Structure formats: C-alpha cells, structure tokens
Amino acid sequence: MFSFFKKDPLKQLNKQYSAKLEQAMQSQRNGDIKSYSQLTFEAEQILDKIKVIESKIS
C-alpha cells in the first residue's frame, strides 16, 4: 500500500559500493596497499550483491 515509503536496496548498495571504491582509492594513494586490497575485496562483495538483486529484477 505504501510502497513509496520503502527504501530502494539497490540504491543503498550502489552508494556503499561507491564509498568503498573511494576509500580504496585513497588508501592506494597513501601507499597502504594492504588496506587497498581489503577495501577492494569488500567493494567486490557489494558488487556481487548488486548483481544478484539486478538478476532477480530482470
């Protein structure tokens, strides 16, 4: 009934994904390769969740 009040999980995941990539880029620029690798891995996990949700929609 009030579906317009529900938040879009895909939008939230895309925002988290972008934030992780930004953090990873900053870590790489600072020379912290270990942190860069961890953040990139976390971003890839979020991207996998996004792909799962998109496949369910299509």
Is the distance from CB of 35 to CB of 27 less than 8 angstroms? yes
Q: Is residue 22 part of a domain?
A: yes
Q: Is residue 2 part of a domain?
A: no
* pTM listed for this prediction: 0.84
What is the rounded radius of gyration, in angstroms, for the C-alpha atoms of the chain? 14
Range of the domain at 25: 7-57
Report the Cα 34 to chain-centroid distance in Å: 19
Q: Is residue 49 part of a domain?
A: yes
More confident position, 25 or 2 = 25
The pLDDT tens digits of the residues spanning 3-51 come to 666 788 899 999 999 999 999 999 999 999 999 999 999 999 999 999 9
Number of folded domains in the chain? 1
**Crossing angle of the two packed helices 9-29 and 33-57, in degrees rounded to 10:** 160
For residue 7, the model assigns a pLDDT of 80
